Amino acid sequence: MAINLVNPSGLPKIDVYRQVSIATGSKLVFIAGQVAWDAEGITVGEGDLAAQVEQCYLNIGTALAEAGGTFDDVAKLTFYVVDWTPEKMPTLLEGISRASAKLGTTPVPPATLLGVAALDVPEHLVEIEATAILD
């Protein structure tokens, strides 16, 4: 496996992601920010952050499969969430959990979460981009 996820001593241990991703692979995969579109470009879960996070993860899973990878190959995730507040964290985690169950994995790569004023269209509440490293 090209990715080793760790929580170094001296840094806080976060349950939902690891602080460091050590990559040894040779194939870089950069996945554009995924929003809650289905294959036909229709927004899934309008007004429902958990449903949109779930769809974003499923879309990333599809993109990874096309590159020959899985979430085990993800080195970094970046979340852009409209009007972020800490109170939204349980809903975001619910979406991740539902997607993880469907994907059969527990993705915990390093992650950055940014609150934004808006995304591409008003119905999109979250966008998630991924970087993966494959052997």
Give backbone dihedrals phi and psi of 86, rounded to 5 degrees, phi first.
-60, -25
For residue 72, the one-letter residue type is D
Q: Which pair of tokens denotes residue 33?
A: 């920010």
Four-residue CA torsion sign, 124, 125, 129, 130: negative
Q: What is the pLDDT of residues 95-116, one digit of tens each?
A: 999 999 999 998 889 999 999 9
> 């289905």: which residue's tokens?
38
Q: What is the pLDDT of residues 30-75, one digit of tens each?
A: 999 999 999 999 999 999 999 999 999 999 999 999 999 999 999 9
Full-model pTM: 0.91
Q: Is the pLDDT of residue 23 over 90?
A: no
